[in-house]
């Protein structure tokens, strides 16, 4: 019996590259190759060399091919999902002029504030891009580069997002998709194109930017001979436009126009992220009003401090991740790297409410509570942005994904503070699975969301709601209200 075609879904994240080899017909994961990334920087700086992403992709593909036990000739397509917002500046040869400024580099916070004011305030930005600039947004990073490293800015022959950089290396084509483009700050979700006025405000020439493909499933080219040699894959296979990591996770969950709409997701990873796919164009300054990669929208709120911040507290206390207990009177806001939602880029962590009776496990529990509170506090805004009534919103289960969704204490804390029913999908690599569905769609022409839904990648355990811990919720909220001016 002839073998079904194999597609590769790539998740190029902040910390690593994962390459999933997936049976395009059944969605069965045949193998996963991995390779780490290095992140450098201190005092708000977070940078990575884009060339290491390309090397990591080669290593991950090679490891996946060996594990899968399939011939390279069986691979029919590839798509890359990448960390959002990062600024990659290239020379005329397509080589990085400097390390990429990553999404969690907070040095561009002053530029974000200046851009917001220059256009007329948050409402003006929301009307055009769906989002208000924060330090993470690529436009703010470009202005930081323009002001602090003018030689690099003037030498730039191309500007790319991380997934664009890798897609171009694969296909030789400068292309992006509406989803990842909507996180730049120079793409309008109102018009579905780059915004000339915003480009003028930024001092950015449109010729430096990639073409925006119709969707992330659009075939933007074929694997070049050079890329094929580097990766050990057949030349000429389909290369999809790909998308940003959050947009790919939505595809992997079967969320979008051909699947579930207005169903919220909480991703617990390096960052904590709440999002949903919807047909309603979001208009809340409290959210990032992104486009989804399939033509719908993806309102999203992102926090900087999630699993890594809680792990840091556990390490300081000498405790394991699941040694936590509810925080009692203690409140710990784990803003160890500043914060994005709420927009407090220069904030540090805050601990209050200590008693003689406070225990180490309670302090760790307070760190969990602070991180979960920060992520969940944006949930109501998210559901309103989808146009749901309170009753409709309450009926929507919260899907829990990311590395934290495999942790008992994370799940228990989300259940207790949200009081909502949860679904924990069985699949663990939803970003890469979403990218694989985009690759399959580039090969077959099928809808990627429908493809992922047929694979069942978003299915999993359903957990009934528990009584909401309103006392903990109100205690944390009161501390944040009082401390916000000091956290500034």
Q: What is the pLDDT of residue 176?
A: 98
Which residues have a catalytic role annotated? 245
Rounded distance between C-alpha atoms, residue 341 and residue 458, angstroms: 26
Helix (H) or strand (E) holding 148: helix 138-148
| Residue 84 marked as a ligand binder | yes
Nearest to 181 by CA among 169, 157, 198: 198
Nearest to 240 by CA among 439, 436, 23: 439
Q: What is the pLDDT of residue 412?
A: 97
- Determine the straight-line distance between the first and last CA of the chain, rounded to whole angstroms: 64
pLDDT by residue, tens only, the chain of 488 residues:
456 799 999 999 999 999 999 999 999 999 999 999 999 999 899 999 999 999 999 999 999 999 998 999 999 999 999 999 999 999 999 999 999 999 999 999 999 999 999 999 999 999 999 999 999 999 999 999 999 999 999 999 999 999 999 999 999 999 999 999 999 999 999 999 999 999 999 999 999 999 999 999 999 999 999 999 999 999 999 999 999 999 999 999 999 999 999 999 999 988 899 999 999 998 899 899 999 999 999 999 989 899 999 999 999 999 999 999 998 999 999 999 888 888 888 899 999 999 999 999 999 999 999 999 999 998 888 998 899 988 888 889 999 999 999 999 999 999 999 999 999 999 989 999 999 999 999 999 999 999 999 999 999 999 999 999 999 999 999 999 998 888 86
Phi, psi of 330 (to 5 degrees): -75, 140
Question: Quick check: helix, strand or coil at residue 326?
Answer: coil
Rounded distance between C-alpha atoms, residue 344 and residue 84, angstroms: 19
Tokens 């002029």 identify what position?
97
Helix (H) or strand (E) holding 415: helix 408-418
| Residue 263 marked as a ligand binder | no
Beta strands in 134-252 (DSSP E): 158-160, 175-176, 187-188, 193-194, 211-212, 219-222, 238-240, 243-244
Nearest to 216 by CA among 251, 191, 186, 185: 251
Q: What is the pLDDT of residue 119?
A: 97
What one-character DSSP code corresponds to residue 280?
S
Q: What is the pLDDT of residue 1?
A: 40
Phi, psi of 63 (to 5 degrees): -65, -40
- Who contacts 432 (Cβ-Cβ below 8 Å, separation ≥6)? 9, 10, 11, 18, 19, 20, 32, 81, 248, 252
Is the distance from CB of 323 to CB of 365 less than 8 angstroms? Answer: no
Q: What is the pLDDT of residue 487?
A: 80
Rounded distance between C-alpha atoms, residue 298 and residue 289, angstroms: 6
Q: What is the secondary structure of 34-54 as a DSSP string?
A: EEE---B-STT--EE-HHHHH
What one-character DSSP code corresponds to residue 265?
E
Other Cβ atoms less than 10 A from the Cβ of 98: the count is 17
Rounded distance between C-alpha atoms, residue 396 and residue 270, angstroms: 25
Query: Global pTM?
Result: 0.92
Helix (H) or strand (E) holding 197: helix 196-202
For the chain, domains (ranges, CATH) are 6-245 (3.30.420.40)
Rounded distance between C-alpha atoms, residue 336 and residue 98, angstroms: 26
Question: Quick check: helix, strand or coil at residue 303?
Answer: strand
Rounded distance between C-alpha atoms, residue 364 and residue 87, angstroms: 35
Rounded to whole angstroms, what are the CA distances from 208 to 51, 98, 103?
Answer: 19, 16, 20
Rounded distance between C-alpha atoms, residue 283 and residue 251, angstroms: 22
The tokens describing 5, both together, are 């075609």
Environment class of 331 (CB within 10 Å of its CB; exposed 0-12, middle 13-18, buried 19+): buried
Q: What is the pLDDT of residue 3?
A: 67
């Amino acid at each position: 019996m002839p073998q079904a075609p194999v597609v590769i879904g790539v998740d190029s994240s902040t910390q690593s590259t994962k390459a999933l080899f997936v049976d395009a017909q059944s969605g069965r994961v045949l193998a996963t190759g991995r390779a780490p990334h290095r992140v450098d920087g201190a005092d708000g700086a977070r940078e990575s060399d884009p060339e290491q992403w390309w090397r990591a992709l080669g290593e991950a593909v090679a490891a996946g091919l060996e594990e899968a036990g399939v011939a390279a000739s069986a691979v029919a397509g590839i798509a890359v999902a990448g960390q959002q917002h990062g600024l990659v500046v290239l020379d005329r040869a397509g080589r990085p002029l400097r390390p990429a400024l990553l999404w969690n580099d907070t040095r561009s916070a002053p530029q974000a504030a200046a851009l917001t004011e220059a256009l007329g305030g948050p409402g003006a930005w929301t009307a055009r891009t769906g989002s208000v600039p924060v330090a993470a947004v690529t436009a703010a990073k470009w202005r930081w580069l323009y002001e602090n490293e003018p030689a690099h800015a003037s030498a730039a022959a191309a500007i790319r997002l991380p997934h664009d950089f890798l897609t171009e290396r694969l296909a030789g084509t400068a292309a992006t998709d509406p989803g990842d483009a909507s996180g730049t700050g120079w793409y309008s979700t109102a018009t579905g194109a780059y915004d000339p006025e915003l480009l003028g405000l930024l001092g950015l020439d449109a010729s430096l930017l990639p073409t925006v493909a119709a969707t992330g499933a659009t075939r933007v080219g074929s694997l070049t001979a050079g890329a094929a040699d580097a990766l050990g894959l057949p030349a000429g296979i389909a290369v999809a436009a790909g998308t940003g990591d959050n947009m790919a996770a939505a595809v992997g969950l079967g969320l979008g126009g051909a699947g579930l709409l207005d169903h919220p997701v909480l991703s617990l990873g390096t960052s904590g992220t709440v999002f949903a796919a919807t047909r309603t164009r979001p208009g809340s300054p409290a959210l990032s009003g992104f486009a989804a990669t399939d033509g719908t929208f993806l309102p999203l709120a992102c926090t900087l401090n999630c699993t890594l911040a809680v792990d840091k507290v556990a390490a300081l206390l000498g405790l394991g991740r699941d040694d936590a207990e509810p925080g009692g009177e203690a409140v710990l806001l784990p803003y160890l790297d500043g914060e994005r939602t709420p927009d407090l880029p220069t904030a540090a962590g805050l601990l209050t409410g200590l008693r003689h009776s406070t225990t180490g496990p309670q302090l760790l529990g307070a760190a969990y509570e602070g991180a979960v509170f920060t992520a969940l506090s944006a949930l109501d805004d998210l559901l309103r942005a989808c146009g749901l009534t309170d009753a409709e919103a309450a009926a929507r289960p919260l899907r829990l994904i990311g590395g934290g969704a495999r942790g008992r204490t994370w799940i228990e804390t989300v259940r207790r503070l949200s009081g909502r029913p949860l679904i924990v999908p069985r699949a663990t690599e939803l970003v890469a699975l979403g990218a694989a569905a985009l690759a399959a769609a580039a090969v077959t022409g099928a809808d990627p969301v429908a493809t992922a839904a047929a694979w069942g990648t978003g299915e999993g355990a359903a957990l009934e709601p528990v009584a909401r811990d309103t006392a903990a919720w109100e205690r944390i909220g009161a501390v944040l209200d009082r401390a916000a001016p000091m956290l500034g």
